[in-house]
Structure 1
Amino acid sequence: MLFLLAALLPVMRAQPEQETASQEPASPSVDSVDGEDTHFQWKSALLESGFLLAVQHSTRMVQAKTRAELGGPFWADYFNSVSTIHTWNDSNSVLTNYIGHPILGAVTGYIQVFNDPIGRRLEFDLSSKRYWQSRLKAMAWTAAYSTQFEIGPISEASIGNVGKHPPTMAVVDLVVTPVGGLAVMMLEDYVDARFISRWERNKSIHLARFYRIAFNPSRSLCNLLRLKHPAYRDTRPL
């Protein structure tokens, strides 16, 4: 994902200035957004993150290997699990580590973006300081969420003791999830602003929704977490 984003950056930056100005709305005011409180919405962000965490752990509980590790001394097994992080690679596949985790990182990053009344209205713009600040905050949120999920009190290490048997716990997830998540978010932001917004013009609502969901999967999944239609956009209602 990072290599793909790096390859696309020159193309992204080469968009004509006139075209960019005509497509992107003016930056929202820092003090107000349509009369809406611009403070970060902690309650809904934590609830959405908690719901995603519950879904992930519920999925893990279906696996026999997770259930098999539920017994035994909790704290001893937990500390044994988190103390084995000495290598880069874990036992997961390349697809899981370098595709699945960045997509999940983008989903959790969009939780932060969507609960920031200013950030959720910003479109892709590499020259915008505000855009970079927004997406870097999202990466920090993803890093916190990912660290908690891997080695926190309600984590793979505490529930199922992932890491107890090396090399099932490693550095790769702690790094690739937030960094790769940022790359996926920016790629989806770019595709949404430069392509989807054009393709959906004068199209049926069903086709417009298809474009939005198919080409922005992480954003679509995060919309579900906030109980919105997967194709929902804060600035482009259908």
Structure 2
Amino acid sequence: MNFLGYPRKDGSVGARNYVGVISSAACASDTATSIASQIPGCITFTHRQACGLVYPDRDMVHRTLINLGKNPNLASVLVVGPECADSDVDLIANGISQSEKRVEVVKIHALGGIMATVAKGTQLAREMVEEASAIQREECGVSHLRLGVECGGSTPLSGSVTNATMGAALDIIIGKGGSGGFSETPEVIGAEHMIARRAQSKEVERRMIEVVERFEKRLMSSGLDFLGSNP
């Protein structure tokens, strides 16, 4: 079983071939959007996390942005941010560059303001899209495929049809050596044992249970309890 994908230098394969424009901080989100909106083939990743976060939360933001940038659906990445220490724009760019793709940085303060940053960022993004357009799809094994699923909105058929269909598709892909993932940890609460018992080892089973238990404890520490509403 094969699919047509875009091979990357780090050995991963993308199903898409975008140039990512990532804001390192909330204050750079509109600037990043302005850059990407002018160049077809760009996709923006912004967030509203403010500076001054405590380190566990800041680390989570950094880790999320870095891994978004590493996604094989992105041929290259432009990181947009201020020059203040809290932005950590270089840390994010360096983390993404470990995937061996082209990574560029534009800093709003260093360039003299938003208008100059948009102009420079647009120039770089255009170059990167031109480079990406030269990459040709190749036939790749499904073992390179990663399928991410997300609940976009529940309907009366979600439990009986939609979720079961997606599960069957994931089973096929994983059985061929690929991988899959889903977000929304609360969706697993109450059903974690059903997933854990399918783990390939006791260690994976233990870690699956631990993830859910850790999330439950975090909720309860805030005075919340999902067990009454989920599953």
Instruction: Tell whether the structures are fold-level matches, with TM greater than 0.5.
Output: no
Structure ranking higher on relative contact order (CA contacts 8 Å, 6+ apart) = 1
> Of Structure 1 and Structure 2, which has the larger fraction of its residues in helix?
1
Normalising by structure 2, we get a TM-score of 0.25
> Of Structure 1 and Structure 2, which has the larger fraction of its residues in strand?
2
